[in-house]
Amino acid sequence: MGDMTSQTEDTMLSKGCPDSQPVEEASVGVGTAAVDALKKGPWTSAEDAILVDYVKKHGEGNWNAVQKNSGLSRCGKSCRLRWANHLKPDLKKGPFTQEEEDRIIELHAKWGNKWARMAAEV
């Protein structure tokens, strides 16, 4: 009987407690101000120049520090991807040469779809 009483009291307390909020309601809006401050969309040439200058001075790595130390309003991931895919000086763009294509076919026959391993070989 004491067991039923404690269950009933627990149920009544949880239903009648005006201070309790469901977790979903309590967490709405948390951390959204910091996300809104980040810029999204196409990069400008001025932002590119800031990123290139930062990497020349500090090197690659710790991309989250770029936002803090350079004044860019971009997240670290965005800075890393912009550098690796567009701004890196030794980035080769354009079609593969016949030698490169033959080497890719050779490595693919050897290892399959292990692209990171193939890139380390080239």
Shared domain for 81 and 111, answered yes or no, is no
Q: Are residues 70 and 115 both part of a single domain?
A: no
Instruction: Look at the block and give the residue holding tokens 């120049």.
Output: 49
Expressed as residue numbers, the domain containing 19 is 2-91
- Is residue 85 located within the same domain as residue 109? no
99 shares a domain with 87: no
103 shares a domain with 69: no
Same domain? 87 vs 109: no
Residue written as token pair 């401050």 = 37
**pLDDT-based confidence at residue 88 (cuts at 50, 70, 90):** very high
Q: Does this model's pTM top 0.85?
A: no
Task: Count the Cβ atoms, other than its own, within 10 Å of residue 83.
Answer: 19
Number of structural domains (the chain) is: 2
- Taking the CB of residue 35, how many other CB atoms lie within 10 A of it? 9
- Write down the pLDDT at residue 121: 78
For the residues 20-24, what does the mean pLDDT come to?
40
Torsion-angle region of 94 (φ positive above 0: left; ψ -120 to 50: alpha; else: beta) = left
Q: Indicate whether 13 and 69 sit together in one domain.
A: yes
- 16 and 49 inside one domain: yes
Q: Using one digit for the tens of pLDDT, what is the confidence trace for 30-64?
A: 444 454 578 889 999 999 999 999 999 999 988 98
Two structure tokens written together for 57: 């001075």
Alpha-carbon distance 24 to 1, whole Å? 35
